[in-house]
Structure 1
Amino acid sequence: MPSKRPQFSSVFALTILLLVTMALESIEAHMAMLYPPPRGGFGTKEFDWRIHEFIGYKGFKYPCGGYKKGPNTKMKAGQLIPVRFWTTELTEVDELPKKKIPEARHGGGMCEFSLSNNGGKSFHVIATYTRTCPDAMYEWPVRIPDNVPSCNDPGNCLFSWSWTANLVPQFYHNCADVTIEGSQNGALPKKTIQLNDFTGHKKGVTFEGDGHSHDRGPGPIASEVKVASLRKSL
């Protein structure tokens, strides 16, 4: 009478398949915003380990990956925000990694940081990093301009990170819910973020990068740090 238990060869094959799948998922663990804490982000009650995926992948929607409202971060006009990034290999998040970790940076690319006061219907650029962004080994300073308006409606007030990669045509987007103490007569910048590589937008778009696909890059470009951290108005 045949045994109801799986044969050893079948169990072994399934185990190998699981290990290979886990390894591939680890290798392909892209990047996500860590701070300010985004919707669905690591360390939040809403954490979804898939937050590192790109828009258009298995239901990930624009804006904000389709995630609902998350934790609120208070900000002020003129404040310098030390943006940080997360990948699945990063488990200690209280400080920057001391040793390099695997991170699928896809050669770097172009990151835009922006604000929205209408729940993501539009995002207005306050800082841009090119070629070497993103990377979990560094902080990426972003100044909230002095002349932005106050925004006190969590769910409508958003701080956004978007990334168009270098080696693959993929677009990533995370949003942090925020409230901003701003200028009485302030206005958001006119420039809006570039949208690429998902339905309804131009496909096959990549940006110049640094060529570091699965390893630490050279970090933020000094001239861009200066602009992103010192510019008082837009």
Structure 2
Amino acid sequence: ITSFRNLVVLAMLALVSPLFTGCASSQALRASLADRNALIRDLQNENSAIRERLQLVTYDRDQLELTLSERAIVPEVEPLEASSPTDMGGAPFPALNDSGLSDVGVELERRGDSVVFTIPSAITFGSGSATLSSEGEAALNAVAKRLKADFDDKVLFFVEGHTDSERIRRSKFRSNRELAGARARAVHEHLVTQGHIEDQRFVVVSHGPHRPIDTNATAEGRARNRRVEIIVRNP
């Protein structure tokens, strides 16, 4: 009888043993999976940091290229009074007159030795978009008329895109710099194709959020920072 009981116990142990082994194996798999997930998170964090550093380096490079291109294109001139017409190379800039511009939301100002047309993104583009609105097209048509009527055909036009510092969430664009560049290109294309201004007179630049004219801490300030500027300079 005792021998029979021993046999029964041994048989039961043989049946239960794989269950304990299976539990141990599952625990090991779960531990291994947790390790892999932790490694993936670490790699993703490192990748994000690398992307941020790459964006900073790319921005620095773009700024250097812009500075070099501006120096190659635009000669140095003496600062002039903001209230007087700019006269460089014998081609005077006209006195400021925002007639026909303020009605379509375009701001006109003299900034040092340049004349600046500022087009707020609120009237030209939807949120996160680089597609011109009908109001934006009307504004650019008014700007194109002034560019052709008021300035010598040797004058250069710098189309510069700007955004606020808010992170892009719902947009096909990966960064504010990319969005600002797309908007500047849309403005440039309209001025060439619809405004009939020669393409070689344009320099297109994206600054993204890096040249604000107001604080990004308020909605009003961010709205002012979202803009495309057309800066007029003599060669």
TM-score, length basis structure 2: 0.27
More strand by percentage: 1
Of the two, which has the highest radius of gyration? 2
Higher relative contact order (CA 8 A, sep 6+): 1
